[in-house]
Structure formats: structure tokens, C-alpha cells
């Protein structure tokens, strides 16, 4: 580092000298005067026409006694020979060197300019300047070549970012909704803090922990929390940062990373998205022994070659555990596999509590209701939900965040922002109202479906309308009755359009796609067909290198394929007929709901439930509800912000492939 600083300083000094020389070359010569021959100067001196001569080296500045038209003395410049003694020459030609001492003969004032010794050096510098600039150019070229070479040699250096344990930024208190995962990783913290405790019992420190879960479930956050709790150095790197276009670079970076980790032990190495380099070997296109596989081989060697007393733990994260190489997952490399799933309702409450810290929350905010309204939301989704609510409150010039902002934020996250500027004709608005009303009425009167929570005909995102359901309780298992009711509710919009207008529009296209997918999965994946029995049909194949489905292997005959199509068609037709019959029976309720929607555009919560439960002939709104809506709300919620005691305990048992299957219909 010091030698580099000296080299750079020398280059900058040369550049500064060159600039000074150029400045002096152009600006130190003084004013531009007419030039005359040196012999003419001697003759004019003999004629007593010269008042003063200023000598600057070989350069002469001659001031004449005569004046020009402006009344200024005439000044000319000349240059004498290198070996000329101007004093002797003037004296020999009868010219006195002082006008005051020789008033009767030709005389002039001879003066010498004090150059302080810089003149000769400047002349020398000007002569050497071309060579200096050429040498500087060569030096810059050589330096550039050396820099490129050093950069090329640094490809093999690890690009991991080091976070020291002195500054704790994230702890386990910042992570919620994944209690089982925190318990597993709490042992890792104890391994790093108190290794002698486990060594006394002959226990071996785990070499690797694999965090598996969908995107946004907190894998990276949890690994940083482990480093914060343990107070040890934390090396963070992405799997894609290992591989470059040059052969052997990835393996070299792996070696350098583990060398740095051993020097800073005890420490943690975190590799995010390890599936970028940890995919199963031999699955590449165009050959198996590629650069990615060399990187993976080096990771396998480094993790297996640890000294038991090194105290270096590797934490990796991925959302594709199915494509990882088996050698990477065996005990001795990644000893533990920690599953992080989308949180359940209690986990979502805890996550909302974490993200609500430090924010002014109103008294009307019901965290359990928000948790129920967000099935399938990950931790990142919930963080975005709270942030969106805060942004909405700030946009409305509020000092606290109310339940209204949170409800609006849920809708924004699911379906997108409101498109209030979208112009809809009265016919399209009426069509949307009947479509969303069909979903709502069917869902309300079905016994195995989540009740509707909100219905609106205001456009959101790409949807013309929007219906959201709120489950009574979160379920991890689904029955055929629940799926069949879901099919009926999804086809409610299509059936309502046919019942009222005689034909359906393109609005139910997303509903039809969803219905087809569910019905086919019931037959081919979940064994919910009485005709075909509890069997699965078809095996999805994918290329591990690509990580995507490319084909489906048919392990059944053409006859079975026809029976599958018949069963799918039967399920959809039965659901469609049930939807039609239910809407014909509850048409009065549908008409009342549509009339109210055309007026207020949005219904939700208790208001929606009371409307659907009321007698279709009763006037709307009821007197008590009308008085409630007309009563002005006290401004106390705006003036007295508080933070609610949001400290729910997350429920144990997070299912990997469960969660509420409540549906949100957008049309």
C-alpha cells in the first residue's frame, strides 16, 4: 500500500511539473513587442534615440525616447548573441551607460532583470519537456499494464463481505414466526460461544447448516441474527459471486474464503443462494466438468477438510433443495437442514409485532385480524405490508397508522393500487358488480368456504374488481368438500354473468384458469376422484441444470387420460351447476348486493356480513348502521398515538406445504 502511494505521488509530481513548465512557457515571456536586429539597437543607441535597455539573459527590451501617437514610449525587443558583452560593446561605440552621468554624449540606462536563477532552469526544462512528457506517457502505459495484471491475479480472491461481531445489528429478537428454526440455530450460537461445553461430552461441532425455504421467509435475516448473537466475524457471499468467465476462478475464491475464515475463527460463513454453484453434478448442458462443478468440488473439499477445532460454521440458504448435489447434503458437510416455511397465523402476528416496533399504531388496529387476512404471506411480505401502511398514513398527513391504512395496504400488496383514474362505463361497472357479487354470494352461503371479508368494484392493478375472503381458522389440510366449494365460488362470477346478461364476458378468464388447475390437481395429484381412486398420474421431469419443468412423463395409458379429462370436466360442470342453482335461489340477495355496490363501490367486514344476512326486502342501510356512519369519529385517535402491546407468541409447528387455502378472487 505504501509503495503504491509513493508511485502515485511521483506520477502526480511529474504531471504538476509539466503543467508549471507549460504555464511558464506561455505566460512568462511578457508583452509581445516588435522585434528589431541587435545591430539596429547599437545604431539607435549611437544616435541617442534609446532611453533604456533591459537585459534578461540574451533577451533585450529596448525603450525609445520617442513616443507613439498615444503618447506612450515606443518599446521593442531584440536578442543578442550568446557571447556578447553589451556593456563593452556600447562603451566602445561611444555610448554612456547612464543618462544622468553623460548629458553631453549618447547615453542610455542599462538595467539587468533579476530572474532569481530561474531563467536557466526554465530554459533547460523547456528543452527537456518533450522527453519528460514522453517518459510520463510510457510510465502511465506500464502502470496500466501492471494494474490489469494485478486485477487479473485478484480474480481468485474471495469477494465475501466481512461483518465483525463488535457491532451487533441483528439478533434473535428481530426474528419472529420461526421459533423452531431459532431453536436449531441457537445451538449453533452455543457451539461458537462455549465450544468446551460440547467438547467435554465428545460432541462434534456441526460444520454446516442449510436453511431451506421459499423466498422472503427470513433465511438471510436468520443467518445474520446468528452472527449477531454469537458476536463472531460473519463472511457473507452469494453463490453467483464464485463463478467468473475464467477457468479455476471459482475454486480459487473458495480456497481464499476458507483461508480467511480459518484466520478469523471462530466465525460464520454465509453462502446465499448456494444452488447457483451447488447443483447436482453431471447435469450440465454441453459437458459435465465445467467451471461451476469445479467450484462445487472445492467447496466439498474445504468443508470436509476442516480441523475439528477450527470453529468455522458454514450457513447456506436456498429455495431449491431438490436440485442440490447429494454429496453436499451428507452429514459432515451440511449436518443440519432447517426448514423455514411461510408463517402461520400466530407467526404472522409475531412478525407484525416486530415490524410495528417504533411506529405509532392506532387503537383500532386489530393484529389478529390482519394476521388472518394475510394467509400465505412471508416475512418479507408482512414487512412490506407495514411499510405500505406507514406510507399511506404519511400520504394522508396522519400522525398515526390506523386500521384503514393497514386494510388498504393488504389490498395493495395482493391486487395492486387502486386505479381511480380508470374510466368505466355504466354497463361495465354493472357487469363487474354482478361478477363480484356472484363470488361473494356463493362464498357466503357455502358451508365449507371461507366467508367473504371485502368486495369492491374499484379497479386494482389489472383487475376490474376484487373479492377477498377471511378464513375463520387457518387449516393445513384440505378436504374434497372444501375444494368443491372453492370451485363453486370461483365459478360464481361466470354463473352470475350468464344468469343476468345471458352470456359471460372475458372477465372470468382467471377464474376459469384457477378452476381448471384445482380440478386437475384433485384428480391427478390428490386422489380425490371416486372413479379413478387414490392414485397420482404423471411425473413432472425437470433438468436440474435449468431448474424448471420441461416435460411431464405420462405413466398412464390413453384410456386413463380420457378418464382424467372426463373427471375434470365432471367436477367443473357440477360446480358450475351448483353455482347457477345457488344464485337463482339467492337472486334477491345478489340484486340487493349489486344495488349497494353500484352506490358505495366497496363493502367490507361487518357491513358486508349484515347485508348478506339481512332480508332482501328490508331497506338498506339499517337505521343503526346509518346513524353509526353519520356519527363523526372523535379525533382522539389522531392525537394520542400509542404503540399497542403486540407480543403474541408464535405457534409451534410450521407446516412446509400447508397454510390456509382461502382464495382471493380478482376479475
Place of cell 433465511: 219
Give a three-class secondary structure readout of 66-116.
EECCCCCEEEEEEECCCCCCHHHHHHHCCCECCCCCCCCCCECEEEECCCC
Show the cell assigned to 495: 354463473
Question: Torsion angle, CA of 578/579/583/586, rounded to 10 degrees?
Answer: 60
Residue labelled with grid coordinates 343503526? 624
How many degrees, rounded to 5, is the angle at CA 665 between CA 660 and CA 666?
A: 140
Q: Which three cell numbers, joined as nine digits, stand for 284?
A: 450440465
3-state secondary structure of 537: coil
Choose, from 293, 436, 497, 498, the residue flagged as catalytic: 436
Q: Where are the alpha helices (DSSP H) in 396-450?
A: 403-415, 426-445
Burial of 614 (0-12, 13-18, 19+ CB in 10 A): middle
Q: Return the CA Rg of the chain.
A: 43
Count of C-beta atoms within a 10 Å radius of residue 202? 6
Q: 624 in helix, strand or coil? A: helix
Axis-axis angle for helices 426-445, 492-501 (nearest 10): 130
Q: Comparing C-alpha atoms, which of 303, 367, 320, 340 is closest to residue 221?
A: 340
- Is residue 218 within 8 A of residue 345, CB to CB? The reply is no
Set of cell numbers at residue 234: 460473519
Q: Output the nine-digit C-alpha cell for 534.
A: 387414490
> Helix, strand or coil for residue 506?
coil
Instruction: Look up 639 and say whether it is catalytic.
Output: no
Q: How distant, in Å, are the alpha carbons of 185, 207, 263, 371, 388 from that of 171?
A: 12, 22, 25, 23, 24
Grid cell for residue 156: 481468485
- Please give the full DSSP string across 323-357, using - where no structure is assigned: GB-HHHHSTTTS-EEEE-----HHHHHHHHHHHTT
How many helices and strands in the chain, by DSSP H and E?
23, 16
Interacting residues of 453 by C-beta distance below 8 A, sequence separation 6+:
373, 468, 469, 470, 604, 605, 608
CB contact set of 170 (below 8 Å; sequence gap of 6+): 221, 224, 225, 227, 228
CB 12 within 8 A of CB 148: no
Query: What are the strands, taking DSSP E only, across 224-311?
Result: 234-238, 267-272
Catalytic residues: 436
Amino acid at each position: 500500500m505504501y509503495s503504491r502511494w509513493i508511485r502515485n505521488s511521483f506520477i502526480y509530481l511529474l504531471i504538476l511539473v509539466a503543467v508549471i513548465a507549460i504555464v511558464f512557457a506561455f505566460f512568462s515571456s511578457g508583452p509581445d513587442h516588435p522585434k528589431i536586429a541587435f545591430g539596429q539597437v547599437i545604431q539607435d543607441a549611437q544616435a541617442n534615440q534609446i532611453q533604456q535597455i533591459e537585459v534578461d539573459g540574451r533577451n533585450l527590451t529596448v525603450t525609445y525616447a520617442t513616443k507613439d501617437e498615444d503618447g506612450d514610449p515606443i518599446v521593442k525587443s531584440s536578442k543578442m548573441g550568446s557571447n556578447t558583452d553589451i556593456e563593452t560593446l556600447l562603451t566602445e561605440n561611444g555610448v554612456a551607460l547612464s543618462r544622468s552621468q553623460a548629458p553631453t554624449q549618447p547615453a542610455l540606462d542599462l538595467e539587468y532583470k533579476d530572474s532569481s536563477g530561474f531563467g536557466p532552469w526554465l530554459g533547460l526544462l523547456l528543452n527537456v519537456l518533450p522527453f519528460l512528457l514522453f517518459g510520463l506517457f510510457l510510465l502511465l502505459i506500464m502502470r496500466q499494464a501492471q494494474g490489469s495484471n494485478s486485477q487479473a491475479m485478484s480474480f481468485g480472491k474471495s469477494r465475501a463481505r466481512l461483518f465483525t461481531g463488535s457491532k451487533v445489528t441483528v439478533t434473535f429478537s428481530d426474528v419472529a414466526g420461526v421459533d423452531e428454526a431459532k431453536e436449531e440455530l441457537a445451538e449453533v450460537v452455543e457451539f461458537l460461544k462455549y465450544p468446551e461445553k460440547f467438547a467435554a461430552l465428545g460432541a462434534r461441532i456441526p460444520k454446516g447448516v442449510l436453511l431451506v425455504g421459499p423466498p422472503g421467509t427470513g433465511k438471510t435475516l436468520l443467518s445474520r441474527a446468528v452472527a449477531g448473537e454469537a458476536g463472531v466475524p460473519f463472511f457473507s457471499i452469494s453463490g453467483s459471486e464464485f463463478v467468473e468467465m475464467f477457468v479455476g476462478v471459482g475454486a480459487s475464491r473458495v480456497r481464499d474464503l476458507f483461508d480467511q475464515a480459518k484466520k478469523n475463527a471462530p466465525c460464520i460463513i454465509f453462502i446465499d443462494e448456494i444452488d447457483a454453484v451447488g447443483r447436482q453434478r453431471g447435469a450440465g448442458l454441453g459437458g459435465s466438468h465445467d467451471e461451476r462443478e469445479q467450484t462445487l468440488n472445492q467447496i466439498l473439499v474445504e468443508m470436509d477438510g476442516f480441523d475439528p477445532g477450527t470453529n468455522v460454521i458454514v450457513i447456506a440458504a436456498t429455495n431449491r433443495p431438490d436440485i442440490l448435489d447429494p454429496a453436499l447434503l451428507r452429514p459432515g458437510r451440511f449436518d443440519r437442514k432447517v426448514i423455514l416455511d411461510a408463517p402461520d397465523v400466530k407467526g404472522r402476528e409475531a412478525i407484525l409485532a416486530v415490524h410495528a416496533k417504533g411506529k405509532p399504531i392506532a387503537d383500532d388496529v386489530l393484529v389478529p385480524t390482519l394476521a388472518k387476512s394475510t394467509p400465505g404471506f412471508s416475512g418479507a411480505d408482512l414487512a412490506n405490508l407495514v411499510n405500505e401502511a406507514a406510507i399511506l398514513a404519511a400520504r394522508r398527513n396522519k400522525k398515526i397508522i390506523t386500521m384503514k391504512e393497514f386494510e388498504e395496504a393488504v389490498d395493495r400488496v395482493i391486487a395492486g393500487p387502486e386505479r381511480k383514474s380508470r374510466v368505466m362505463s355504466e354497463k361495465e361497472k354493472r357487469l363487474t358488480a354482478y361478477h363480484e357479487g356472484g363470488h361473494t354470494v356463493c362464498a357466503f352461503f357455502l358451508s365449507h368456504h371461507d366467508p367473504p371479508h371485502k368486495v369492491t368494484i374499484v379497479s386494482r392493478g389489472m383487475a376490474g374488481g376484487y373479492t377477498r375472503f377471511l378464513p375463520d381458522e387457518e387449516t393445513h389440510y384440505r378436504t374434497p368438500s372444501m375444494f368443491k366449494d372453492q370451485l363453486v365460488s370461483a365459478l360464481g362470477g361466470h354463473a352470475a354473468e350468464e344468469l343476468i346478461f345471458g352470456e359471460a364476458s372475458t372477465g372470468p378468464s382467471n377464474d376459469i384458469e384457477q378452476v381448471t388447475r384445482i380440478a386437475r390437481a384433485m384428480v391427478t395429484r390428490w386422489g380425490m376422484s371416486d372413479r379413478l381412486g387414490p392414485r397420482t398420474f404423471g411425473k413432472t421431469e425437470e433438468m436440474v441444470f435449468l431448474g424448471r419443468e420441461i416435460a411431464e412423463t405420462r405413466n398412464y395409458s390413453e384410456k386413463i387420460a380420457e378418464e382424467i379429462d372426463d373427471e375434470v370436466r365432471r367436477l367443473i360442470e357440477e360446480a358450475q351447476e351448483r353455482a347457477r342453482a345457488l344464485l337463482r335461489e339467492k337472486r334477491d340477495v345478489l340484486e340487493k348486493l349489486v344495488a349497494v355496490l353500484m352506490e358505495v363501490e366497496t363493502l367490507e367486514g361487518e357491513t358486508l356480513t349484515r347485508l348478506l344476512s339481512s332480508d332482501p326486502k328490508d331497506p338498506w342501510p339499517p337505521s343503526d348502521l346509518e346513524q353509526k356512519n353519520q356519527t363523526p369519529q372523535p379525533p382522539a385517535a389522531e392525537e394520542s398515538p400509542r404503540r399497542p402491546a403486540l407480543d403474541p407468541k408464535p405457534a409451534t409447528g410450521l407446516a412446509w406445504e400447508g397454510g390456509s387455502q382461502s382464495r382471493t378472487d380478482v376479475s
